[in-house]
Structures are given as structure tokens and as C-alpha cells.
Structure 1
């Protein structure tokens, strides 16, 4: 497959040169990191290997369950094969398996109109369903092991989706033929660029980061820093109404993300909306800590974060009473702070609002995969070694919880189709992660 004209040939040569230059730089970083990476992999910090060994032992002790699941899978696959042959002969028959509504992986019409791709799709969906049902129904596993095998089996199943591979994705095949393979060269260049950004580790681009600049087209609500200490800066936003409410509004964001999630752009900025309603808005902007702040803990974030901000707000406004919003982990901190204030008979917070905040950790959902006793102990050891938890590691954990949307969609778009990611303010913020002290 050759480029169609000299212009395409020149562009292909330019991209190929970038590939060669990036490859040499990345190789050095990659080799340097292998010892540490292999050591971390051998430690199995999440206990994944043990969980799956327990699963295999339970399956070996339940031959009837395994035989029944295998027979059920075989029968469904035969039904898929029969339906595909009927479709190839021009006979319309009901599908054996259909993707759930909103599943972007199979939105291309050829997944339904082409009998071969329809067979690949349905065969995958049937196998995925049976595999996940099997591991979910194994009895006798410890709850933490059950959560891990279910979660990581889903990761495995999602990774093997036919949409993630060149030869089984009709859209990628069409693009490859139409461009003479230039999409794959561009995709390789994108892959190397992401490896370069991660210093030899893959850091998938989710948006065009060059399209955004803080203060220009994100985080544009006017304000100023009125107080700061070693953990945070307190921003007061300028009023835009002739009159304002007497009681100020304080927002506590999470310290594992940047504060401007509530001030992305003018059209979707909660902060701007609140100011337009006449509120005097204050927001904490947390420091991105390094090893020098390794000894800072939750108590410090309460004392030098939430409580210090409340005192600064009172000094700035002359008002003792205030309304407070806690976002995500900031809501967890707010809940603990309110408990502390209640013990001190301090009623300065007149209303507390929680945005996507977890207060009851008895049922953490899929997050429980990463916070059982073994995982937390290993995480604490790792954090103590360098004084903090890297923000990219936390981001990767949260991305895994929505792997199809936050991992594989970009693998297909960036690396197989060779396209640049679309500018998206929310994903720009999502990629702007911060560290957490040990």
C-alpha cells in the first residue's frame, strides 16, 4: 500500500522521521526503568495472582460447574455460528447477542451488516458474558478475592474486544486501505509520543492538551489568592452582581485533582454560576506535594486546609457563618471537619453540600479492589519509599474502572486510526493529576 500522491509521501516521511527520533529517546528511558518495573511486578502489590490462584483452585474443585459453563458457552457459540451462516445466505435472523446500548465499540454499521464482522462481534459478546458469569458465580472465594477476579477478568475481557485490533475492526481496516497505511504510521508516532510523555511508561493522551491554557480558556472566572500556607491557596472570586449574599460559600475540592473542575469554561462553570447568583465564592487550591511534605496526613489537611480556609474566609468577609461544599475527597474531608467542629460546639457551617463524596466506606464498590488490607499496606510502603503517591498512578486506577471509555477508546482512536484526540475540557482536567503525600 503506497501513498496516493507526493504530498502524502512527504507527510509520511516526516512522520517516519519523528518515529525514529522518538524511538531512540524512549528506548533509553525504558531500559532504565525495567529493573524497578520488574521488581514492582514481582511483588504483586494488589494480590492479583493469589486471587486468581484461589479461583483456579475453586474451579478445579467444582468440575460440574466448569463442565456446565463450558457446555453452555459451546451451545451459544453454535447458535452464533448458525445465525451468521443464515445471514450470509441472506436470511435475517434474530441476533444471539447484542451490545448494550451506548457501547461505542460496535457502532460502525459493518458490525451488523457484514456477516463476518457480525459473527466476530456476537462470538466475542457471548464469550465475554460466559467468562464473567463463571468467575462471578464461583463459591467459596473470600470477598476481597472475589472482587479482584471479577474486576480484573473484566479488564481482560475488555482488552480482547475485536474493536481493539486492526484485522477485526472494520473502521480501522477501511482507514488503513484508504490511507495506504498512513494511519498506522501516525498511530505509531502517537504511541511513541505518549511513551515519551510518560518517560518510558505509556501515558495515553485523552485530549489535545495544547488546546487548553489555564486562565485563557479553562479556569477563567476572575479571582485572586487571599491566603496561602504550605498545603493550599485560598482563592476568592470577584463578585459580578450589585449585591451579594452575606453568608460566603466555601468549596473544598479533592487534593488528588485540581480545583478547577468546577470552573472549566464559562458555559459549564459552577463557580461562575454561583457568583452570578450573588454568592461570594472561595475555593481551596491544594498544593501538588513532593517528598518534603511526606509527613502530612489527613489531620494536617483538616487543620491547615479546611479549618484554615474557614478562618481566612471569616477574616476576609467579617462573617462567622458560611455555607460549604465538599467535592469528591473534599467532601470526605468536610464530613470529618464537621464532626470535629460539632465536638467543639462550633456551628459556623450553616449548610454542607456534598458532590460525589464517599462518607460510608463500608461499600466502596469497585474501589474496594484497591483498598483491602494487603493492597493498602503495600501502597503505604510504596508511598513511604518516596514520600508521596504519584498522581498518574491514581489516575490509572480510576481509568481502569471505565476501561472501555478511558483506555480502549483512545487506543483505537490514537493508535489504530492515527487520529489526534479531540479537545475536551473535562478530560484535560482529568489528565492534570496531582500527587498525594505519604
Structure 2
């Protein structure tokens, strides 16, 4: 039976099968002290929510000690505090009705906050936020990392103590309670109990049953045509009588399930591409278990990206493919493309990167969670189970937008009794995956911490790769409000390439900016191409030089794919090709997506 399975894997991928993973050796007695340390660190991580207290303490000491020996800066802060206090005492606030909000902050916009005493509550809170923002900036000698960590921690504390989070100091909550005779509070408590049960039992969220994989989402017709230990390769059925010669191969992130790109028929990027006459292949990643703790980062390249390229070229007969990578899958595809260019592999016709980082030096506030201390803690936590749980990673992402994703939701659902309507992207975001310990540690240390890819130290099969070796045309997408892959960091790929780059910037965030079907109201994007030899523009200069274009970036990308495809169109290829070693194994969306 094992021999049959291995043979099937070889035929499905077109590559040698992966040998069985060896059991991990037991810890040596001499390492018992180290083992004890790691157990204690893992326990501390569980108690602290995965945050390294030592890293945070070090940042605070850096900031506090430099501030302590800066009497001029302390005097400035004291003067600012006194000025704020005088203005608050005089007219209730130095700015507008509730102070000047941070971008995207909607907590105090309701007119109810303009009345006494709620105006004072809001303006005092805003003044405290402004003071702490000033206090963590401009302290001579403090490292930028320490200053950013202290600022982030102060914001988390202030966000928690916001007057909007407490019934007695939130006029919207009080008005709703009076208007409903207290029913809103009863409904809110019921919502809290329901969510507590879901958290304790691991049940699906209320409303998620409307988004069932293979029934209401991920329903574009297709077949699983290859399966490896880490990925299923899905080929989608044609929707046009003729198709472009080069197929599109999509490599999504394995942080979440692939079907963000194939949600409902109305907003499925896969269905849109098929309707435009492209043959589409997508990698559907396996959800790792403890047995996969030793899976390496490079196995995602060989068992996912390269396996999909092999399947696409063999089934369609095309010598080249349009490769697409989304988020972490985009980082992987950039690495894959650089390794292929180094090795003389010419199977790429173009490369598209969607909200993907290749230079991690300015990767936004996620970098605050990346330090040697923080990663040591995370590695010890992963050692316990062999993987990082999906909810813990989503919790980190939510902290970056705590007001919108945590506190505002709690106020609306638990105090005002207004249950948010679950839609497809929200349901998908709760269908999380795990990250293998070895892969995730390598990814964070080599890419986020050391920035090896951008700085030319990243190795594939023992040899370094260089992004400059990529010579195919690139389409790169950033999203204006992306807090996971900030668009200015995505844009820095221009500095690493000597090939034409078409850069598009869409409004929206990391997911909703990408899932942007034509006809969606309010969608705009900017787009421009830098040809090889053109002078470099920094991100802000590029933004100023390109006017917004109404509509979805999908249409502009489709035009770009058409220009980089060869003519003429040809009859669609079969779904799978048993003679070529790629028989149709299952109906899409396959089995891995259900794990």
C-alpha cells in the first residue's frame, strides 16, 4: 500500500517522491537544562499571549533610561501635558468635538459624544493618546525599534481604557439600552455566551454554515490533477471555446486556506480568469499537523510551486506559464522565480505578486513582534505542538488594528446587541490553518529578522539566489490600507529588479483589496509601468505621479496578462492527463482544503 501511494505521488507531481520523514531524536541528557528552559519559556508564552515580556521590557528600559537623562525632552512633555490640561479645562478639548482622531478611528464620531460629560471623556482620552505619541518620539538615543514597541504597547493600553469600551462612559450604549428597555444588553450578553462557547469548543461561528466549502464557496468547477504531501494542484474547467496558450498558476499563502481566491461566483478571481479565457491551476495547501513539524520552507517550493508549474506545463503542453503568488505565496513565488532564473529554467512567461513582501525591512508593525527574544519564545511554543495555531496568528494580526477588529466589535456585539453579519471573507478568515514549526521559524528568522532575500543571502538548495536574476515581466499589486504587507514595503521590489515592472495600488486592505471584482462600488486603483532603464521613483513620488483609475484592478491585470500572452488562442486542454502522469484525482476543491 505504501509503495502504491509513493508511486501515485511521483506520477502526480512529475518529481521524485519525498522520502518518509525521520522521527526526531530524543534530547540528549546534557541538554536537559536547555529543555527545561524551553519548557518554561513555552509556558510563559502561553500565559503572555505569545508576547515576549523580556523584549518589551528591554524596549521600555531603552526608552525610559534615555528619557531619564533628557531633561529638555521631559520639560517639553510636561509643557505639553500642562497645555492640554488647560485647554481641556477651558473648552473640553483642543481640537474638534472629541479631538483629532487617528486615521480610521471611528470611536467618537457619533453626535452623542458632543454632549457633556461624554465630550470630556473623549477629549481627555484623545489628549492622552497625543501625549503618549509625543512621549515615544524624538527621545535622543532611543532605537527606532524600542520607540515603536513602547508606542505600540502604550496604544494597546490606551485602546483598552478608551471610554467607548465601558457602558457608563459610552453614550451610544446608554442610548441603545434606554431605547430598547435593556433588551440590547440582554442580546449582547447572549452574544458573549455564544462566542465563549465557540471559543471553548472550537465550533464554527454563527452564520458560517452559509459558507460551506464546495457548496456555496470554492465552487468553480475543476479537478485535482496532482497531490503531494503538502499540496493538491487544482485545474479549473474552461469556460470559453478557446484559451490563451500560457496557463495561469496561482500559489496562495498557506497561512490561510486557498479559497480566498475562489469565494462566491460573484467575487471569485479564479472564475473571472477562467471567463477571460485562461487555463487556471491553483495550489491548495495541506493544513499541517504535529507530524509535519519538520517540514522545511523549501518543501513548499518543491512540493507546491514547482509541482504546480510541472503539472501545468505537462497537461497544457505550453512551455511557459503565468505565475501568480499571493501574500506569503507571493514571497515563495519570488524565491521560486529567482531560483529558476539562476538555474536556467525558462518556464515562466510572467510573474504576478499580490500583496507580497520581498523586502521585510519596513514590513509595518508586524516587525514589532520580530526579535531574537520574541522568536525564541515562539519557537519554544511551537516545539510543544510542532506547529503554530492559526488563531494565535490571527490574534497578532488583529492587534495591529485593535480598535476596529477587537474593541469596536466587542462594544457593538456585547454592549449594543448588534451582531455583525458574517460575510464570505469573514467566514474564510475563521477557517484558519497551522504553520509547521521548522518552516515558520526559518521564515521569520531568515526573511523578517535578517531580510536575507532582499540583501542577497537567501539560499535555495545550498546556493544563494538574487531577485535581480528575474528577467520576465512583473505585475505587482499593493493595497493602500494593508497592515500585513504595507504597500510601500511591497513597492520596494523595484529596487531589486532590472526588468519591466507594472505596479498597481488598489484601495482596500490585505484581503478585500485583492478580492475586488468588477462592479464593486468605490473601487479605484493607480497603475504605472517602469521599463528597464527608467529612473527610480520613491513610493510617495510614484503615488503623486499616478492618478486613480475608477474600477477594479482585475481588469487592468487582465489586459496586462493578455499583452504578455502569446497568440493565437487554442482549444482548451483536458482536465488532467493520465498519459502524462496527471490523472484527475478528485473534484475541486479537493480534500486538503477541508482539513
Aligned to 1:274: 273
Aligned to 2:229: 230
Q: CA deviation at 1:165?
A: 1.3
Whether the aligned pair in 1 keeps the contact of 2:70 and 2:140 (CA below 8 Å) is no
Question: Does the C-alpha gap of structure 1 residues 129 and 341 become closer, same or farther in structure 2, counting only changes over 3 Å?
Answer: same
2:106 and 2:164 map into 1 onto residues whose CA distance is: 10
- The one-character-per-residue Cα deviations of 1:54-113 (angstroms, maximum 9, x if unpaired) are 333333333442342133123223213322499xxxxxx96582335643212322123x
2:288 and 2:319 map into 1 onto residues whose CA distance is: 30
1:235-274 paired onto structure 2 within 5 Å: 235-274=234-273
Whether the aligned pair in 1 keeps the contact of 2:246 and 2:318 (CA below 8 Å) is yes
Aligned to 1:171: 172
Among candidates 86, 100, 117, match of residue 98 of structure 1: 100
Aligned to 1:217: 216
Question: Does the C-alpha gap of structure 1 residues 136 and 173 become closer, same or farther in structure 2, counting only changes over 3 Å?
Answer: same
Question: Does the C-alpha gap of structure 1 residues 379 and 101 become closer, same or farther in structure 2, counting only changes over 3 Å?
Answer: closer
Q: CA deviation at 1:188?
A: 2.7
Among candidates 76, 82, 89, match of residue 81 of structure 1: 89
Aligned to 1:194: 195
- Greater shift after overlay, 42-51 or 184-193? 42-51
Higher helix proportion:
1
Q: CA deviation at 1:43?
A: 8.8
Question: Does the C-alpha gap of structure 1 residues 145 and 252 become closer, same or farther in structure 2, counting only changes over 3 Å?
Answer: same
Aligned to 1:361: 360
1:310-325 paired onto structure 2 within 5 Å: 310-325=309-324
- Greater shift after overlay, 327-336 or 37-46? 37-46
1:420 and 1:267 map into 2 onto residues whose CA distance is: 25
Aligned to 2:110: 108
Is 1:65 matched up with 2:73?
yes
Is 1:142 matched up with 2:155?
no
Aligned to 1:16: none
- Greater shift after overlay, 328-337 or 413-422? 413-422
Q: CA deviation at 1:350?
A: 0.9
Whether the aligned pair in 2 keeps the contact of 1:399 and 1:406 (CA below 8 Å) is yes
Q: CA deviation at 1:381?
A: 2.3
1:408 and 1:200 map into 2 onto residues whose CA distance is: 23
Whether the aligned pair in 1 keeps the contact of 2:98 and 2:119 (CA below 8 Å) is no
- The one-character-per-residue Cα deviations of 1:144-176 (angstroms, maximum 9, x if unpaired) are 322311222222222222211111111111122
1:270-349 paired onto structure 2 within 5 Å: 270-349=269-348
Normalised by the length of structure 2, the TM-score is 0.62
Q: CA deviation at 1:356?
A: 0.3
Q: CA deviation at 1:278?
A: 0.3
Among candidates 54, 60, 63, match of residue 52 of structure 1: 60
Question: Does the C-alpha gap of structure 1 residues 174 and 102 become closer, same or farther in structure 2, counting only changes over 3 Å?
Answer: same
3-state SS of 2:48 partner: helix
2:390 and 2:104 map into 1 onto residues whose CA distance is: 30
3-state SS of 1:199 partner: helix
Whether the aligned pair in 2 keeps the contact of 1:81 and 1:119 (CA below 8 Å) is no
- The one-character-per-residue Cα deviations of 1:177-218 (angstroms, maximum 9, x if unpaired) are 2333332333233223323322389x996x832332223332
Whether the aligned pair in 1 keeps the contact of 2:289 and 2:434 (CA below 8 Å) is yes
Count of matched residue pairs: 395
Aligned to 1:41: 48
3-state SS of 2:179 partner: helix
2:234 and 2:49 map into 1 onto residues whose CA distance is: 45
Question: Does the C-alpha gap of structure 1 residues 62 and 193 become closer, same or farther in structure 2, counting only changes over 3 Å?
Answer: farther
2:432 and 2:84 map into 1 onto residues whose CA distance is: 44
Q: CA deviation at 1:425?
A: 1.6
2:229 and 2:309 map into 1 onto residues whose CA distance is: 16
RMSD between superposed Cα atoms in Å: 2.6
3-state SS of 1:334 partner: helix
1:96 and 1:104 map into 2 onto residues whose CA distance is: 11
1:132 and 1:177 map into 2 onto residues whose CA distance is: 36
2:168 and 2:159 map into 1 onto residues whose CA distance is: 17
1:261 and 1:43 map into 2 onto residues whose CA distance is: 27
